[in-house]
């Protein structure tokens, strides 16, 4: 076969891959952008109008109780995972520990009313226990991982040096003063945070689109073994980078093909760890922190999902 013939044969496949990549890229951006904007707005208002002491009073000083409490903060900031990072950055600047911010980041995408309701609507007629198990697993994993990171005496060592310098200036923001000064400061914060987070979102979306365009083939062959099915669905969640507010409806498409234990893994792992969220978190946390984070979350999700396959269905 000549090169021209090979090219003609492969052209439709190449065109399909490129089309899929572009579609996925824009879908991720369109899905994430409103939540990024909402997260930036919330974080900026927190910085300007809420005193540090007000935030810190909500979190018990006890290490264990502090992580248990902050895991519920998603109820106060009902945005998906991509919008939580700006909020977490601001909370760190306000004085919470990085380990507590990690617990917040892992729990908030699921422990919020919008996601709980959407999961219930999707699975209430199929497997109601998925709703409870998703919330419980997400909460417990977030708290456990945060507590492990809290054992680090040098909490600043979990953060990028550049972000530590950023915190040292942003934490000095005054919440009193003239309205004009506050508006100027608010505008600057919104601009800086948008540039910081949106640039990472673009990179994560591009990577996810490229990888996702090559993975849109049948994966039903991997559904026979519960453990294999769990791992495959976690990989799909990592690549697909679906917002937690709608991922339950996407997961419905795999019911009947994959066991429910793997569906649960998809719903728990995806909001915590995916290409998009990792790229955004890399603006704040060191690479070694993220490697440890991914390793712990992966192990705990697998354990929880395998347990459900053994004792559930």
Q: For residue range 19-78, what is the model confidence (pLDDT) as tens digits?
A: 877 876 777 677 667 766 776 677 667 666 666 567 678 888 889 999 999 999 877 765
Q: pLDDT, tens digit, for every residue of 184-241? A: 777 876 776 677 667 656 765 676 567 556 554 456 666 678 889 899 889 888 887 7
2 within some domain: no
Percent of the chain with pLDDT over 70: 71
Closest CA relative to residue 309, chosen from 188, 202, 218, 227: 227
State residue 257's pLDDT score: 76
State residue 174's pLDDT score: 45
Q: pLDDT, tens digit, for every residue of 267-289? A: 999 999 988 788 888 888 999 99
- Residue 306, CB half-sphere, CA atoms under 13 Å: how many? 10
Which residues span the domain enclosing 132? 12-311
Does 80 score more than 80 pLDDT? no
State residue 41's pLDDT score: 76
State residue 133's pLDDT score: 94
The radius of gyration of the chain's CA atoms, rounded to the nearest angstrom, is 21
1 within some domain: no
Total number of domains in the chain = 1
More confident residue, 253 or 264: 264
74 within some domain: yes
3 within some domain: no
DSSP line for 112-167? SHHHHHHHHHHHTTT-THHHHHHHHHHHHHHHHHHHHHHT-S-GGGGB-HHHHHHH
Q: Whole-model pTM?
A: 0.74
State residue 15's pLDDT score: 75
Q: pLDDT, tens digit, for every residue of 169-182? A: 454 444 445 666 66
Average pLDDT of span 282-301: 94
102 within some domain: yes
4 within some domain: no
297 within some domain: yes
State residue 56's pLDDT score: 73
Q: End-to-end CA distance of the chain, in Å? A: 51
Closest CA relative to residue 193, chosen from 97, 107, 110, 93: 93
Q: Bridge partners of 285?
A: 159
Q: What is the mean pLDDT of the chain?
A: 78
State residue 141's pLDDT score: 97
Query: Is 239 exposed, middle or buried (CB count within 10 Å of its CB: 0-12, 13-18, 19+)?
Result: buried
What is the three-class DSSP state of 284? coil
Neighbours of 13 (CB within 10 A): 9
More confident residue, 118 or 272: 272
Integer CA distances (angstroms), 231 to 62, 122, 272, in order = 36, 22, 15
């Amino acid at each position: 076969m000549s090169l021209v013939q090979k090219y003609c044969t492969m052209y439709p496949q190449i065109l399909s891959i490129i089309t899929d990549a572009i579609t996925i890229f824009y879908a991720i951006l369109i899905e994430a952008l409103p939540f990024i904007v909402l997260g930036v707005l919330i974080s900026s208002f927190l910085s300007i109008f809420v005193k540090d002491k007000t935030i810190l009073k909500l979190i018990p000083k006890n290490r264990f109780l502090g992580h248990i409490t902050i895991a519920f903060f998603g109820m106060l900031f009902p945005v998906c995972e991509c919008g939580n990072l700006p909020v977490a950055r601001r909370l760190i600047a306000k004085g919470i520990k990085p380990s507590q911010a990690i617990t917040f980041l892992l729990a908030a995408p699921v422990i919020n009313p919008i996601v709980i309701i959407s999961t219930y609507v999707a699975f209430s007629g199929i497997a109601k226990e998925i709703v409870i198990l998703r919330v419980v697993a997400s909460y417990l994993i977030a708290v456990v991982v945060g507590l492990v990171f809290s054992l680090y005496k040098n909490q600043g060592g979990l953060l990028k040096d550049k972000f530590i310098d950023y915190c040292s200036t942003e934490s000095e923001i005054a919440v009193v003063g003239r309205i004009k000064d506050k508006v100027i400061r608010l505008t600057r914060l919104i601009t800086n945070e948008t540039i910081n987070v949106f640039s990472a979102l673009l990179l994560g979306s591009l990577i996810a689109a490229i990888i996702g365009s090559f993975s849109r083939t049948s994966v039903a062959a991997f559904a026979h073994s519960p453990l294999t099915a769990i791992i495959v669905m976690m990989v799909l969640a990592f690549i697909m980078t679906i917002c937690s507010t709608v991922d339950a409806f996407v997961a419905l498409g795999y019911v009947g093909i994959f066991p429910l234990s793997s569906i649960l893994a998809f719903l728990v792992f995806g909001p915590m760890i995916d290409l998009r969220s990792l790229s955004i978190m890399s603006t704040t946390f060191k690479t070694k922190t993220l490697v440890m984070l991914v390793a712990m979350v992966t192990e705990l999700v697998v354990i929880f999902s395998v347990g459900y396959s053994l004792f559930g269905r």
